[in-house]
Amino acid sequence: MNVRQKTISKEVSVYGVGLHTGKNVNLTFCPAPENHGFKFQRIDIVGQPIINADADLVSDTSRGTTLSQHGATVSTVEHVLASLVGMDLDNILIKLDGPETPILDGSSIQFVDLLEQAGTIEQNAYREYFVIPHNITYTEEDRRVEIVAMPLDDYRFTCMIDYNSPVLGSQHAGINTIAEFKKEIASCRTFCFLHELEYQLKHNLIKGGDLNNAIVIVDKEVDREELDNLAKLFNRKDINVAPQGILNNMELRYQNEPARHKLLDMIGDLALVGMHLKGHIMAARPGHAANIAFAKKIKAAIKKEKSKKLQKVYDPASPALYDVVKIMEILPHRAPFLFVDKILELSKNHVVGVKNVTMNEEFFKGHFPGAPVLPGVIQIESMAQVGGILVLSTVPDPHNYLTYFLKIDKVRFRAQVLPGDTLVFRCDLLEPIRRGIAQMKGVGMVGDKVVVEAEMMAQISKVKQVVEAS
């Protein structure tokens, strides 16, 4: 079923303080056009630079997720992004007049309430989903982190945390569908251990922190003097340890609130993939660094799947546009160094050619004769000859020209090519031919599998010029 993209119907704003910077900040959610995605804008900086919500732009994950682009940064973006995904939105511009989003109560619920207040509108463009095609995994053995995305026609999360803490213990949280986000996850607040809190206070790392925006887990013995000092730091009359092993600054909203908040962070971090996802995400001991690394793996899978869709599969048995006789009228090569058997397509910007790989070719006598495989240099030469047809088709008298390599770049051999295979090459111009110099991207396929690809630069010269130059 096609789902239309969504944005909000009006601007809505919230004011708060950044957890780490301690700076006051106004954050405004703004409607955005179709295919805009999620973007942040630093309106307090000259030029008001925009920062895309993109995993490739993450510059720090030590104390939250920070994005950097165009000389600007925005920190602690995960709670905001989680609210956008949880509210099923597609296109939002988030304007800020500071370097960090407001921490508010340490969860996403106030952002969710704000977005609900704005209301949503459907747009004309349809939403694009990335449906997880197969298991995608990420592990960190030293931290015992394991994350896997599995195929599913929905967006489901399961999360487990275990910090070897007798107070916190091992906790699990999950939602069956992202539609449960508001009810089950959005109000779950960030948490830290008491020893972390003391370290951050000592090093002035949480300038905007107070006991209203974090659950503090007491993971060590504390005396009255230490509790009194904390009370003074946070301007409280009294602080004690509650029976659940947390400071009595707040009550837990759920018994497993810390695990639910880790799930919230994961939803926000995976928004940096840049597409709505369909799959079941299962994570053990996730954190921001692991989430971002995993998001990049999903982005790589998206790129690979898109490449497959864009890569047309040609039938090598299709009628030839140019047979080998016609090819020899254009190319100067002859057997045994003519590697193009026919041309299937030719336009001003691309060409498709075929090479049949047979065991009786000369090089197989000496190239791994016990395990014959088409040499990579022959694959590149074959690709270049196909590209030569494209280049020489731009001159009225191709038999008077020769084509020479100037550069070969980004060569990738992705699979072996064996006798009996039929190689289909497609070469596309990367830019218009200028002064006889052509830049092309070439891809070689056997069936629907890419086996070789490269970028090539070549120059065509008249035969007379070549003779004179020699």
Residues 412, 449: contact at Cβ < 8 Å? no
Catalytic residue among 36, 70, 172, 367: 367
One-character DSSP codes across 252-315: -SSTTHHHHHHHHHHHHHHGGGSSEEEEEEEEES--HHHHHHHHHHHHHHHHHHHHHHHSPPP-
Q: What is the identity of the amino acid at 413? A: F
Active site residue 367: yes
Active site residue 399: no
Measured CA to CA, the distance from residue 403 to residue 397 in angstroms comes to 13
Catalytic residue among 288, 333, 350, 399: 288
Residues 270, 295: contact at Cβ < 8 Å? yes
Q: Is 461 left (phi over 0), alpha (psi -120 to 50) or beta?
A: beta
**What six digits make up the tokens of 148?**
């896997």
Q: What DSSP character marks residue 98?
A: S
- Residue 181 pairs with which residues in a beta bridge? none
Measured CA to CA, the distance from residue 49 to residue 27 in angstroms comes to 15
**What six digits make up the tokens of 439?**
């830049």
Measured CA to CA, the distance from residue 462 to residue 71 in angstroms comes to 49
Q: What does the H/E/C string look like for 357-400?
A: CCCCCHHHHCCCCCCCCCCHHHHHHHHHHHHHHHHHCCCCCHHH
Measured CA to CA, the distance from residue 298 to residue 267 in angstroms comes to 13
Task: Count Cβ atoms below 10 Å from residue 39 Cβ, excluding itself.
Answer: 19
**Mind telling me the catalytic residues?**
288, 367
